[in-house]
Amino acid sequence: MNLLLQPFATPHETFPFDKIKNEHYLPALRKAIAAGKAEIDKLVENPAEPTFANTVAALDRAGMLVERVSTVMFNLNSAETNAELQKIVKEASPLLSEYGNDIRLNAKLFQRIKAVYDRRDELDLDAEARTLLEKTYKSFARNGANLNEGEKARLREIDVKLSDLSLTFGENVLNETNAFLLEVADEKDLAGLPEFVREAARLTAKEKGKDGWAFTLQAPSYIPFMTYAENRDLRKQMALAYNSRAFKGNEYDNRDIVRQIVDLRHARARLLGYATHADFVLEERMAESAGKVTDFLGEMLDYAKPVAEQQMQELTAYARTQGFAEDKLQRWDYAFYAEKLKKEKYAIDDEMLKPYFKLENVIDGVFAIAGKLFGLRFVENKAVPVYHPEVTAYDVTDESGNFVAVFYADYFPREGKRNGAWMTSYRDQRVLDGRDVRPHVSIVCNFTKPTETKPSLLTFDEVTTLFHEFGHALHGMLSRCCYGGTSGTNVYWDFVELPSQIMENWCYEKEALDLFARHFETDEPIPQELIAKIVASANFMEGYATLRQLSFGMLDMAYHGKAQPVTDVAEFERQAIQQTSLFPDTEGINTSVAFSHIFAGGYSAGYYSYKWAEVLDADAFAYFQEKGIFNRDVARSFADNILSKGGSEPPMELYKRFRGQEPSPKALLKRSGLLSQ
């Protein structure tokens, strides 16, 4: 029997990564799909009257082998891929799309679900069961259950094509990222770069068999170069390389893929009775409609744009005092001069902070904060197999020693890992046959690597990123639901960022920083004056940062909120974001073709959710600040009403139960410095 289909004889039934080989995936997937179809057939042919238990709950349990195989395959394709695995995933994706459609378009199955749904008010269902019933019914209705056979065939065709295009989009961005290397032979071209950046670049060159120094488009290399390098021509070269990924007219160009994805998404929405893809998506979001999202982004723009323009004027004036001679700053000038101005205004920069943020200490810190808030303990378990030597696995327990979850952490960039940072799950929490099946969750990042002389020292942005992803992980780990379809992060997309974004707030609090921010050489705690500077500088260029996020949200809604064909991706993008543009147009660059969140991830018509969730997190953290940032009663309420509940009830109801009121945007506007106190 295939390894992936057998019970795992590993601690906590974790994936035996040390034994899984590429050749296991497709045979296992085909067998798992056959088993999943058999489970559906048994459910459908059940002669008993449809009930919640024998239909909706049974469907929630069906296909768990498919979930198991596809989960490990797709997760590794993101975190530790290779050409062979990418090929396997491309072959597997249409099989999974077809399997999903076989279920969603099964008329007999939908009849059983509808029979239960139509009697929902007569049934004695608790809140989670009712939510699962409504979610299940809508997922069928929203995915073609009411279509005729010809329309269902067209839907299948669209879904298979979209799956393939999304994969190709992501592969093209990864290939373009990996293809670029800036080689520096003359040390004078390293002027301005801190020693840690030079050392990392020397190591990169050595790993790639090059002399001198080498810089890549991976974030830990690209961002410090753009921030510190005095050689403007090289900054421009790096910026153009980064912002032209998949926009060069070569085999990895994503323009046609963007056009196809947008057209197919709208075609799919219209087939299902919606005017646009955004209308389809937002029906199942807290925001509810494209109009509300547009109004929300517009309201935030009204506050952010004047502040952003004022901040850019200040930055440009400062740059001129440093010898900048042009009328306007270019994209490749922003980070360089912003860092200098920040240091001048607040006497702080990443170089001053990094010694206090050794990765291992930050990890200990986030664990300690989780302990103080939620009573969790993290202990490394070397017996749990991992998919790469850099990955660490932990047993997570509560204060009574009860097992809570497995937590995997993967921190450094590799060629087989896509850019960015994310949380994912290898096993969702659910109750099966009376047993609480505990989750296996992971965070994957691309942080500054250790060098030959220094440990991994994080920038403050990397510190907040770690806390952010760990917040997602807590949402998965602390789940206490009955059904896989409602547990953990299976929530409305514009609610999922609340647990992650709220965790970032502790990075600015002295009481929290004192737990882990210690100098990597002297073990001295971070000085109070540095903490004060972190807090004082927190809103530095926040108007610009907000405008940038709004730009992404508006671009997303432009593609998905109007059913119009996209003929020229560059021109479409220019018009969509002109309200938020603060830099001169640059020929040959484009955001859309590398916008993986919306074209290769799950954020289509949903990028606004980052800002939406910031409203929630600012309002929620204000409650912690009012009662004490480690107040166990508030933390318990947050765990009981938000983290443990997953998507078992409407998110606004959960939020109000925690907070006692609906969220107010004023807390965010004040925190961001966009609204006077």
Q: Tally helices (H) and strands (E) across the chain.
A: 27, 9
Q: How far apart (Å, rounded) are the C-alpha atoms in residues 77 and 64?
A: 20
Bridge partners, 214 (sequence order): 183
The catalytic residue among 128, 176, 351, 469 is 469
94 token code pair = 């249409």
| Beta strand ranges found along 333-491 (DSSP E) | 377-380, 392-397, 403-410, 422-427, 430-432, 435-437, 440-444
297 token code pair = 């982004």
Long-range contacts from 554-557, C-beta under 8 angstroms, 24+ separation: 554/297, 554/579, 554/580, 555/591, 555/592, 555/595, 555/607, 556/595, 556/597, 556/598, 556/603, 556/604, 556/605, 556/606, 556/607, 556/608, 557/278, 557/290, 557/293, 557/294, 557/297, 557/605, 557/608
Active site residue 469: yes
Q: Which candidate, 592, 608, 597, places its Cα nearest to that of 258?
A: 592
Q: How far apart (Å, rounded) are the C-alpha atoms in residues 107 and 44?
A: 10
What are the C-alpha distances in Å from 121 to residues 49, 125, 128, 238, 431? 17, 9, 14, 60, 24
Buried b (16+ CB within 10 A) or exposed e, 506-525: bbbbeebbebbbbebeeeeb
Amino acid at the residue 452: E
372 token code pair = 């103080």
What are the C-alpha distances in Å from 148 to residues 45, 102, 172? 22, 14, 36
Bridge partners, 394 (sequence order): 380, 407
Helix, strand or coil, per DSSP, at residue 596:
helix
Residue 137 CB neighbours (<10 A):
19
Q: Is the dihedral of CA 573, 578, 579, 580 positive or negative?
A: positive
Torsion angle defined by CA atoms of residues 596, 599, 605 and 607, in that order, rounded to the nearest 10 degrees: 0
Q: How far apart (Å, rounded) are the C-alpha atoms in residues 262 and 400?
A: 51
Q: What angle do CA 350, 356, 362 make, to 5 degrees?
A: 105
CB 606 within 8 A of CB 555: no
Q: Can you state the angle between helices 219-228 and 331-346, rounded to 10 degrees?
A: 70
What are the C-alpha distances in Å from 59 to residues 51, 54, 112, 114, 435? 11, 8, 11, 13, 18
Q: How far apart (Å, rounded) are the C-alpha atoms in residues 310 and 653?
A: 39
Amino acid at the residue 113: I
CB 592 within 8 A of CB 642: no
Q: How far apart (Å, rounded) are the C-alpha atoms in residues 113 and 116?
A: 5
Q: Which candidate, 131, 193, 245, places its Cα nearest to that of 600?
A: 245
Helix, strand or coil, per DSSP, at residue 323:
coil
Q: How far apart (Å, rounded) are the C-alpha atoms in residues 590 and 368?
A: 42
Q: Which residues are catalytic?
A: 469
